[in-house]
Amino acid sequence: RKEVEQDPGPFNVPEGATVAFNCTYSNSASQSFFWYRQDCRKEPKLLMSVYSSGNEDGRFTAQLNRASQYISLLIRDSKLSDSATYLCVVKRGNAGNMLTFGGGTRLMVKP
Amino acid sequence: DTAVSQTPKYLVTQMGNDKSIKCEQNLGHDTMYWYKQDSKKFLKIMFSYNNKELIINETVPNRFSPKSPDKAHLNLHINSLELGDSAVYFCASSLRSSGNTIYFGEGSWLTVV
């Protein structure tokens, strides 16, 4: 089993739709959680951190469920520019900055 | 100004050759990384250096040798290239080894033929 698992998609949604991605992680010692965004043929960039109480950044809401080892990302009012691959990222608490990336979920927002 | 820059961006080379990818960051970060993203898009860490010292060395063939002449540079040298080495190699940096935000370079597309 991979340490961080995501549905690869693609998720094809119309502009204005609400879409949610899920991610599960296997290492219960994981301490920090993030969503990164990667555009086609570009480098990954941090989208947002994920906090236990849940957090929101504009149209983006991230949730963490430690008991179920599950992370989610909700995007409201999808824009064409949201089309990208969304990477779920988990960090172990020790051994340097050991970030483990999921394989990503591809989102395509259509007009 | 590019924060993490790596060269070359594209590299096509024959099996058996030796090649290097260079990386520099101007963010003043202490920690630098090399990641590999394969054709299935999984991004995996290869190496991490903190102030020129190796702190993470994942299971990588010893044909791959990182070198950090100073904390702003982390180069990757690959000997005896194989077809399976074809991938995108991303250099990255973070403020410190415990830092949460990693900044990636634009990637180096390596194709071995």
Q: Which residues of A touch B (CB under 8 A)?
A: 8, 32, 34, 41-46, 49, 85, 87, 91, 95-99, 101, 103-104
Say which DSSP state A3 is in: S
Query: Would you place residue A96 in the very low, low, confident or very high pLDDT band (cuts 50, 70, 90)?
Result: low
From the list A44, A91, A96, which residue is nearest B48 (CB)?
A96
**Mean pLDDT throughout A56-60?**
96
Residues B86 and B111: beta-carbon distance below 8 Å: yes
CA–CA distance, A93 with A107 (Å, rounded to integer): 30
B42 shares contact with chain A (CB less than 8 Å): yes
Burial bucket for residue B90 (CB in 10 Å: 0-12, 13-18, 19+):
buried
Chain B residues within 8 A of A32 when measuring between CB atoms: 100
Say which DSSP state B48 is in: E
- Please state, in angstroms and as integers, the Cα–Cα distance from residue B104 to each residue in A38, A39, A72, B90, B113, following that order: 11, 13, 23, 6, 26
B95 shares contact with chain A (CB less than 8 Å): no
Residue B10 has pLDDT above 90, yes or no: yes
| Model confidence pLDDT, tens digit, residues A19-28 | 999 999 998 8
Residue B20 has pLDDT above 60, yes or no: yes
C-alpha angle A96-A101-A105 in degrees, rounded to nearest 5: 160
Query: Would you place residue A1 in the very low, low, confident or very high pLDDT band (cuts 50, 70, 90)?
Result: confident
Residues A64 and A55: beta-carbon distance below 8 Å: no
Q: Which of A20-29, B5-14, B103-112 has the lowest mean pLDDT?
A: A20-29
From the list B44, B50, B100, which residue is nearest A96 (CB)?
B50
Q: Which of A27-36, B79-88, B102-111 has the lowest mean pLDDT?
A: A27-36
Query: Would you place residue A94 in the very low, low, confident or very high pLDDT band (cuts 50, 70, 90)?
Result: low
| Model confidence pLDDT, tens digit, residues A62-74 | 999 999 999 999 9
B107 and A97 in contact by Cβ < 8 A? no
A97 and B98 in contact by Cβ < 8 A? yes
**Which pLDDT belongs to residue A39?**
96
Among chain A residues, CA nearest to B91: A43
**Which pLDDT belongs to residue B27?**
94
**Mean pLDDT throughout B60-85?**
94
Q: Bigger pLDDT: A10 or B53?
A: A10
**Mean pLDDT throughout B6-16?**
97
Residue A110 corresponds to which tokens in the numbers above? 């259509």
From the list A34, A43, A101, which residue is nearest B42 (CB)?
A101
